Amino acid sequence: MAARVRTYSFLTEEALRLLGKQIRLARKQRGMTESDLASRVGIARSTLQLIEKGDPRTEVGLVFEAATLVGVPLFVPEATTLSPQLERVDDKLALLPHSVRRRASQEVNDDF
């Protein structure tokens, strides 16, 4: 049985490439080699190369860790504002049901 090839939207691919290039730029601006950053993240140099190319198969946690270590902002300019945002999202999630069932007659429209 052949492995299923995963496809991604153009926007997703562009966002991954942008984040990867931002990580690469910040790493170079800090004078870090690929090996230096890979060691700090705890990954192989080849994995860092995939991150910097924007490969969607890399773990999101590793990408975020690499970005954080070289100072690439994630979501907001200051990390101190993440906690209030997390609390707001938690508050909103608390108001929603714990699980969502698909309605049998409703077709999903994912044509954005």
CATH architecture observed for domain 10-74:
Orthogonal Bundle (1.10)
Dump pLDDT digits (tens) for 73-100.
Answer: 887 666 567 678 778 878 888 888 777 6
Question: What pLDDT sits at residue 76?
Answer: 66
Q: How far apart are CA 62 and CA 43, in angstroms?
A: 8
Write down the pLDDT at residue 75.
79
Q: Exposure string (b/e) for 22-61, b if CB count within 10 Å is 16 or more?
A: bbbebbeeeebebeebbeebebeeebbebbbebeeebeee
